[in-house]
Amino acid sequence: MAKKKTVRTIPQERTPMHEQDARARAKNFTEVACGYGLAEALRESERCLMCPDPACVEGCPVSIDIPGFIQKIIDRDHRGAYDVIARTNLLPAICGRVCPQESQCEGVCPVGQTLEPVAIGRLERFVGDMAIREGWANVPYTEPTGFKVGIVGSGPAGMACAADMAKAGCEVTVFEAFHQPGGVLRYGIPDFRLPNDVIDAEIENLRKLGVKFECNVLVGRLFTIDQMIDELGYHAVFVGTGAGYPQLLGIPGDSLNGVLSANELLTRCNLMRAREFPDFDTPMPMGRHVAVIGAGNTAMDALRVALRLGADKVTCVYRRTRAESPARAEEIHHAEEEGIEFQWLTAPVEILDDGKGNVRGMRCVRMELGEPDASGRRRPVAIAGSEFDLEADTVVFAIGTNANPIMGQTSKVKLNSRGYIATDENLATSMAGVYAGGDIVTGAATVIEAMGAGRKAARSMKAYLGLREDEAADLGAFESALFGIARGERNFTRIRAL
């Protein structure tokens, strides 16, 4: 038997991932991080200690059996690795790229106490990309239950919920207001972090499960959630519409031409392909000096998109320090490498007019950190007399989002005091059969948290419909077939309950 691995015996250095050169990539939209090859994945897999009680699984919002799939990579059973991940996560190629692993699985990896933690995200991506290349998809045979489930929003929460409901034998339709599915993965996250063909591949996998996508449908306006239940024959509905409504600066000059939300910049560039204007009709003119306010992941995306759209100088303006910034360390690092300038401890006071209604610059003030506030972060306080003018002809604000009002306007579903949908701990809303999860419940969060919410809601919906939790999902195809009998029985539990 092989000797038990310890922190001393494993490769000490985290296996680096090849990246596009910073100067070259600042001009293109090709993916920055190129992914592990076979040898790199093997070497990194060897760094996993195979903890008997793995903390990383606890740290994962969807509880992927991380040592399990890593062991399969070591065994060179890549299909097996994919099967392990696919049991709990349908979208490994996406999550491996965009999850904040440093605060989830990798953040609790014991190797990380002495060395760099195991690069779990990169390994997950390695498996996910291979699955796309090889065309793997786990499409279990499911007995149709006859239940119709409607999913509002095709972002990560909706996709995860749709997958689980389809696997449980429901007829699932996902409604998307835009003309292409994917939600924030499509309009928000730029191609150089998450290429469109990865999203396409993951959506294609959902289609193989029988999930239908209907685009250009704004639920609430074309038909309401109430109508879905009462008239359109949906037995259960999941609302995963995202938060969306951008928060505004509220400083003088914020409606000048050249001031826009990160959402607008990213949607124009990613979904509407403004970077290919005029081959595509949507324009996104970039000034020479772009200032982005905020330092979250959306701000990092906006900064790097602005640079790639041709701005000469791109500056991040944030009122706290790098340590408090909500963006992933990797994103800030990438942005810095590409030449983004950071003005920490700086807050905008006023956006300056060129006299014709366009942005000429931005008046800022220097800040210092005072006492901790409610969020535990030290509150930034303006330093008197430290005002200065920053040259800018485009100002992008990425300071968070509020709840989108459409669901509240058009249904009787209860909202909380901040306008988000109110749910119980099982993600049930005030309307029978209607569940909600993701940013429209919690406010802005991460892709994987939204997926976790989508899966949690799916569990509740299955319980509501009288479908037993799918214990067969973890078993092989042979056992699943045996459980087919029980599955048929399940169809009647709800009917009996009625």
Q: Which residues of this protein are in contact with another protein, per CB under 8 A?
A: 177-179, 187, 215-218, 221-223, 242, 244-246, 248, 250, 254-255, 257-258, 260-261, 263-264, 267-268, 272-273, 277-283, 285, 357, 404-406, 409
Question: What is the C-alpha separation between 253 and 362, in angstroms, rounded?
Answer: 9
Q: Take residue 45 and report the two structure tokens written for it.
A: 């897999």
- Smaller CB distance to another protein: residue 123 or 293? 293
Q: How far is the CB of 412 from another protein (least distance, A)?
A: 17
User: Is-contact 277 284, C-beta < 8 A?
Assistant: yes
Q: How far is the CB of 409 from another protein (least distance, A)?
A: 7
User: Is-contact 265 418, C-beta < 8 A?
Assistant: no
- Smaller CB distance to another protein: residue 8 or 356? 356
Choose among 153, 149, 155, 152: nearest CA to 209.
149
- DSSP β-ladder status, 259-261 and 212-214: unpaired
Q: How far is the CB of 219 from another protein (least distance, A)?
A: 10
- Smaller CB distance to another protein: residue 223 or 342? 223
CB neighbour list of residue 52: distance below 8 Å, 6 or more residues apart = none
- Smaller CB distance to another protein: residue 218 or 349? 218
Q: How far is the CB of 243 from another protein (least distance, A)?
A: 9
Question: What is the C-alpha separation between 54 and 425, in angstroms, rounded?
Answer: 26
Q: Take residue 470 and report the two structure tokens written for it.
A: 């799918």
Q: How far is the CB of 156 from another protein (least distance, A)?
A: 16
- Smaller CB distance to another protein: residue 217 or 367? 217
- Smaller CB distance to another protein: residue 321 or 402? 402
Question: What is the C-alpha separation between 87 and 474, in angstroms, rounded?
Answer: 7
223 three-class SS = coil
- Smaller CB distance to another protein: residue 85 or 152? 152
How far is residue 213 from each of residues 127, 161, 172, 216, 403, measured CA to CA in Å? 26, 13, 9, 10, 24
Q: What angle do CA 383, 385, 386 make, to 5 degrees?
A: 65
Q: How far is the CB of 285 from another protein (least distance, A)?
A: 6
Q: How far is the CB of 469 from another protein (least distance, A)?
A: 34
